[in-house]
Structure 1
Amino acid sequence: MRRFLLKLASRYLAARNMIAVRRTPLNEVTALIEHLAPVSFGKELIRLGPDRDGGYLVPDVLDGIATCYSPGVGSVSGFESDCADRGMDVYMADASVEKPAVSNDLFHFSDKFIGAASNEAHMTLDEWVDLTRPDSEGDLILQIDVEGAEYEVFLSVSERLLKRFRIIVVEFHGLDQLFNLPFFELGSRVFDKILQTHTCVHNHPNNYSGSTRLDDIVIPKTTELTFLRNDYVKEAAPVTDFPHQLDCDNSTKHPLHLPKCWYLFSQ
């Protein structure tokens, strides 16, 4: 009977051009989620950007950050504009658009994708920073929304550059695939790398994409994570109240709040 059911399942997947994958042990998924649990650290979060898509919560520790890097240029540039209003030079990169949505004297645009390779259409994050601010020192802020390419960006970034980002804001895509072991092995390496130098201080699911559930684990398909470099995290304590008062839905679809399994592990 088991062999028959496996054969039937294989035919079902093949008929729909789907591929059977190995499921990630749920205890490993749970462990990763716990490592990403947001913490409070003695400072407030503020919102940069619009109330809907394109706005993000960041720690109110922006003083001294002179440069923002923002790969992935969308139809709005509210986050970048707010950084420019604080006196930051803002570097933006995206080969899929001709220019940012708005103009600003502090905006600097490159028509390349940021990824893991250096070629005619792509450059690495390290290469981008070296080309644009070759002699600069000091802290940076990174805001990245590159529709799934974030994994290759972080796997290829140097630890030297990663440590220069005081704040990192990332929209992670395809997180429901963490239940698939091949993707989990890739994605968990990305999170492990970031967590060596930074701590998660906020998590806001994008309600446009919805979520996936397996047993007691609910994973938003897309979520916005804010990380703060570890030297700024003092007296960390778990955050147990979501959504944050400054959080806003990304779209007019049904609201999607952070599932409790991401921050209340006793329930």
Structure 2
Amino acid sequence: MVDIVYYAPPPIKSDSLPKCVSLGVSDYSPFDLEMADMGYEVLEYDASIKSSPYPNHPRIKFFKKFVGAVESHNTTTLIQIINENKFDERAHNILQCDIEDAEWELLENIDISLLAKYFPQILFEFHNCNPDDEALTQRRLAVLAKLNEYYCPIHTHFNHNGGLLFAQNLLFSSLLEVSYLRKDLIPNNAEPLIGSATLPNLDYPNIPHYPDIPVIFG
């Protein structure tokens, strides 16, 4: 076990309200509520529910649309969201994406440099990361390589709902939650974590009463 050091990214100076885009909303979305209470303007997108779980919050706006690679009658794109909501690239905007496997197509069809321009921090739940499917794995790795050109993963958490895989004395899940920070905001003295770590202030089991899946960094 190694000591864990928490790094806060340097502030991005802007006079405008930072935005948090939340792709994939449910009847219980505490992340959105917490971000709004912190002062972010939260933009929720999901066509599978009727309205925001927090319809009366002054800093939460709900859009009954899915987000994908192309526009349609009930789908918008991330580029369209940026264009319609007047993003300030100097603000510490955050993107949260949990869209049930559609994240891969979204990322395959967007210029990651444009994503990095407007979102210093991004959070993704990556679905269907099955290492037994070689062709699919290579496609996934190509997307992650694109992200790694501009972002550095700063936190990883396994979701129980993706099942539990075990190989070479390591545990793994096909459903991963990964938080990224843009590379220019990573402190010069930051070092990769080595060993096994649990972060009780950040992590919580996705299935109550089940122990969290340990993450081992090498």
Do these two structures clear the TM 0.5 threshold for a shared fold by scoring above it?
Answer: yes
Equivalent of 2:200 in 245, 250, 263:
245
Offset, 1:115: 0.9
Task: Describe how 1:51-66 pairs up with structure 2 within 5 A.
Answer: 66=18
Offset, 1:61: 5.8
Equivalent of 2:66 in 113, 123, 131:
113
**Helix, strand or coil for the counterpart of 1:182?**
helix
Offset, 1:75: 2.1
Which structure is higher in RCO with an 8 Å CA cutoff and minimum separation 6? 1
CA–CA distance in structure 1, aligned partners of residues 13 and 122 of structure 2 = 15
Greater CA drift, 154-163 or 78-87: 154-163
CA–CA distance in structure 2, aligned partners of residues 255 and 248 of structure 1 = 9
Equivalent position of 1:36 in the other structure: none
CA–CA distance in structure 1, aligned partners of residues 206 and 20 of structure 2 = 22
Equivalent position of 1:89 in the other structure: 41
Letter of the aligned partner of 2:200 in structure 1?
A: Q
CA contact (8 A) 2:153 2:181 kept: yes
**Helix, strand or coil for the counterpart of 1:123?**
strand
Equivalent position of 1:67 in the other structure: 19
Letter of the aligned partner of 1:244 in structure 2?
A: L
Aligned length: 207
CA–CA distance in structure 2, aligned partners of residues 166 and 146 of structure 1 = 20
CA–CA distance in structure 1, aligned partners of residues 51 and 21 of structure 2 = 15
Letter of the aligned partner of 1:149 in structure 2?
A: A
CA contact (8 A) 1:70 1:80 kept: yes
CA–CA distance in structure 2, aligned partners of residues 60 and 72 of structure 1 = 28
CA–CA distance in structure 2, aligned partners of residues 183 and 224 of structure 1 = 18
**Helix, strand or coil for the counterpart of 1:84?**
helix
Q: TM-score, normalised by structure 2?
A: 0.85
Seq. identity, %: 25
CA contact (8 A) 2:103 2:126 kept: yes
- Cα pair distance change 1:174/1:256, threshold 3 Å: farther
Letter of the aligned partner of 2:212 in structure 1?
A: L
Letter of the aligned partner of 2:107 in structure 1?
A: F
Equivalent position of 1:156 in the other structure: 109
Equivalent position of 1:202 in the other structure: 155
Q: What's the C-alpha RMSD, in Å, of the aligned pairs?
A: 2.3
- Cα pair distance change 1:212/1:173, threshold 3 Å: same
Equivalent position of 1:180 in the other structure: 133
**Helix, strand or coil for the counterpart of 1:69?**
strand
- Cα pair distance change 1:138/1:62, threshold 3 Å: closer
CA–CA distance in structure 1, aligned partners of residues 182 and 171 of structure 2 = 27
Q: TM-score, normalised by structure 1?
A: 0.70
Structure 2 unmatched ranges of 5 or more: none
Equivalent of 1:128 in 55, 78, 81:
81
Q: Deviation digits for residues 207-261 of structure 1, max 9, x if unmatched?
A: 233222344554212121010110111222121341112111111253232342x
2:142 is equivalent to residue 142 of structure 1: no
Structure 1 unmatched ranges of 5 or more: 1-39, 45-58
CA contact (8 A) 1:163 1:197 kept: no
- Cα pair distance change 1:63/1:241, threshold 3 Å: farther
Offset, 1:130: 0.8
Q: Name which one, 1 or 2, has greater alpha-carbon Rg.
A: 1
